Amino acid sequence: MKFKIAVIKGDGIGPEIVDQAIRVIKKIEEKYSHTFELSFCLAGGNAIDATGNTLPGETVETCRASDSILLGAVGGPKWDSMPSGNRPENALLGLRSELDLFANIRPAIMYDALSDACPIKKEFIEGGFDMVIVRELTGDVYFGEKGRKESGGVTTGYDIMNYSEKEVERIGRRAFEMAMKRSKKLCSVDKANVLETSRVWRETMHRLRDEYPEVEYSDMYVDNAAMQLVRNPGQFDVIVTGNLFGDILSDEASMITGSIGMLPSASLNETGFGMYEPIHGSAPDIAGKGIANPIATILSAAMMMRYSLNLPQEADAIENAVKKVLDTGWRTADIGKEYISTSEMTDRILSYI
């Protein structure tokens, strides 16, 4: 089969880790007789340097013409002084908005081999955990009206949070469907005791739950959810929440697995088209040193195979190879005192595919 993949290497360690994921994609191409046509384009800081624009129009068009997107990471101190409308991070918001990537899927798995790297006491993670956070990605305070106003010589900034019933229903239905394919357990996280936006969220989720009677459904306030993630992460299977809360909780969930460098993510639209990226940032402090962990990006490529390209066998091959490498004790610098390089980690993963 033939697929078109738009590749955005990005900034910092982005090019290094994306190059490793491409090696894995090429291995899958060879083993399973597929053709992956890669189109390289710019977004983020590198795009600002080359074109003056964080998200060039040709990048958006290349992505539209592809079957999926593989993204490294964007941003870094070099571009901190850029105006708010043209910062590297705006490339991500622009791609999500332009391509309607409303559903962010972030798995958080406690690998047995990495249990020692988990910062939580062992008695709290006994048996491990395997959860997915489904985060709404194109609404909430990130996309609401924002600005500044002056009064009496005092500057006030404002960012308006809002959700429509349709937006909540769309992400809620995706979460319920995912729960049906897993352990049929869903927790919706909001702040309905304080925020009117969250009350609309909760009311909409309650209407939806009647359509999925097999799913064990619960509500949880975001502050309690943050506490429960570090107290008893094994209680969760699928979590669904809004953009702001999901941003924070998914990063927290990633760290309790042992390293933020381990976890992939997918951002999907209604048709299954998606953008795949590691959840970590561009880490400019280690860029070029050959020590970045490529696993999150490689697992993002596996998610791409599964969700957008409908290649579950190929996705399994990648994920199983990563598990075998970890089980045999190989580590990168973020997860072990004795470690191998970025490319060496990929070498070992390739050997098991």
Asked whether 224 and 252 are in contact (CB, 8 A), the reply is: no
HSE at residue 202, side-chain half, CA atoms within 13 A, is 16
Instruction: Say which of 49, 223, 285, 316 is annotated catalytic.
Output: 223
Q: H/E element holding 180?
A: helix 165-181
> Which among 111, 142, 163, 307 is annotated as catalytic?
142
The one-letter code for the residue type at 183 is S
Q: Residue 344: CB partners within 8 Å, gap ≥ 6?
A: 330
The C-alpha atoms of residue 351 and residue 18 are separated, in whole angstroms, by 18
At 132, phi and psi to the nearest 5? Answer: -130, 130
- Whether 32 sits among the annotated catalytic residues: the reply is no
Place of tokens 């990063």: 251
* 78 included as an active-site residue: no
**Whether 219 is catalytic:** no
Alpha-carbon distance values, 83 to 79, 80, 96, 150 (Å):
9, 8, 20, 19
CB atoms near residue 91 (< 10 Å): 29
Active site residue 221: no
Catalytic-labelled residue, pool 67, 190, 237, 247: 247
Instruction: State the catalytic residue, choosing from 19, 100, 219, 251.
Output: 251
Which candidate, 52, 45, 55, 50, places its Cα nearest to that of 76? 45
Q: Is 140 a catalytic residue?
A: no
The active-site residue, picked from 67, 190, 191, 334, is 191
Q: If DSSP codes are grouped into helix, strand and coil, which group holds residue 182?
A: coil
Helix (H, G, I), strand (E, B) or coil at 20: helix
Beta strand spans in the chain (E) = 2-10, 35-40, 68-73, 103-109, 130-136, 146-151, 154-159, 185-190, 216-221, 238-241, 264-268, 274-278
Phi then psi dihedrals of residue 223, to 5 deg: -65, -40
Q: Which residues are catalytic?
A: 142, 191, 223, 247, 251
